[in-house]
Amino acid sequence: GAGRRPRESFYSQSTRIQLMTQSNCTQVTKFILMGFTEDPVTQVILFLIFLLTYLITVLGNLGMMVLIRASPQLHSPMYYFLGNLAFVDLCSSTVITPKMLVDFISEKKGIAYAGCMAQVFIFDLFGITECFLLATMAYDRYVAICHPLVYPLVMSPECCFQLVTGSYLMGLINGTGQTIGMSRLSFCSSSVIDLFFCDISALISLSTTDITLSHAILRTSASLFGASSILVILVSYMAVISTILSISSAKGKHKAFSTCSSHLITVSIFYGTSFFMYLKPSSDSSRGGDKWAVVLYTVVTPMLNPFIYSLRNKDVKEALRRLAKIK
């Protein structure tokens, strides 16, 4: 009766406003990437720094892949995983850095909607793949140090292939899911992204649709994939440290720990910066200082990994020396 009319009137008015907003919404076909600065001199300096960084990344990771392939002494599970890690780092860096370099020297710093979604998909695919590859490498160290007698049996070529394939599959599931989620959002009010690439958090904050569900999916996905992979790493290294401490000789302890140190450094840098990037409050997403943490995660880490493993690894240095002698 009479008591229902105001509520019905309210709902109909609310629906009309929503429909009017949607009808006036023109979906953006291009996003503007703000980058770091508008100062021309600073842009040239940053262009040269990031160009050098990218060249080192490409040479370092390609070099690691070629070295592992060409050196019979590196045909073991640990280096098989490391070769895949180098490939993932190369791909994740390539999907972001070349576009960033072009934007430094061009007046229009735009990226097409389709290109933006492609960046989201590829970056998320390789990001989660790296999480699970690092977890796989931790499990490999656990078996090698805690159960050395059964290591060849447990880490068989078939098992290694399955672990790597599973890592890529997890990345594919995450990349597909996140991209589908992004493609369902509307972007009407603004097309300016205060970053140098299409980051999911930045896109969600730009959306004119209700972002509550998108935020929940992003946080849940980051937590589930990130937490499950880091749990494997933590459990593996708790067992590894316990085993190392039980070794009586100091030389044995040092040798066992040295096989894990490179991986621990890589894990610390990767997870430290990625958790900061994706689990910080959304209100902080546009702070200028945070861009440099994103740079560390997306640009610097892929460059560092080959050097962390080569400079701290006796087998890799020996393989380099042998390859140099052959040439």
CATH of the domain at 178: 1.20.1070.10
- Average pLDDT for the chain: 81
Residue 13 lies in a domain: no
Query: Does 3 reside within a domain?
Result: no
Domain-located, residue 40: yes
Q: Is residue 205 included in any domain, yes or no?
A: yes
User: Which carries the bigger pLDDT value, residue 218 or residue 104?
Assistant: 104
Q: Is the pLDDT of residue 200 over 90?
A: no
Dist. CA 192–CA 188, nearest whole Å = 11
Give me the residue label for tokens 């509550």. Answer: 212
Answer yes or no: are the C-beta atoms of 93 and 299 closer than 8 Å.
yes
pLDDT band (50, 70, 90) for residue 15 = very low
In a domain, 111, yes or no: yes
Determine, yes or no, domain membership for 17.
no
* Mean pLDDT comparison of 39-43, 149-153, 181-185, highest-scoring range: 149-153
Q: What 8-state DSSP symbol labels residue 197? A: S
Domain that holds residue 100: 26-326
Burial of 266 (0-12, 13-18, 19+ CB in 10 A): buried
DSSP state of 264: H
Would residue 2 count as lying in a domain? no
The alpha helices in 71-156, defined as continuous H runs, are 77-94, 97-104, 113-146, 151-154
Q: Is 88's pLDDT higher than 70?
A: yes
pLDDT for position 24: 58
Domains identified in the chain, total number: 1
pLDDT at 264: 84
Task: Report the Cα 54 to chain-centroid distance in Å.
Answer: 16
Over residues 272-282, the pLDDT tens digits come to 777 666 655 55
User: What's the pLDDT score for residue 207?
Assistant: 76
For the entire predicted model, the pTM comes to 0.83
218-248, pLDDT tens digit by residue? Answer: 667 767 887 888 899 999 999 998 988 888 7
Task: Specify if 241 maps to a domain.
Answer: yes
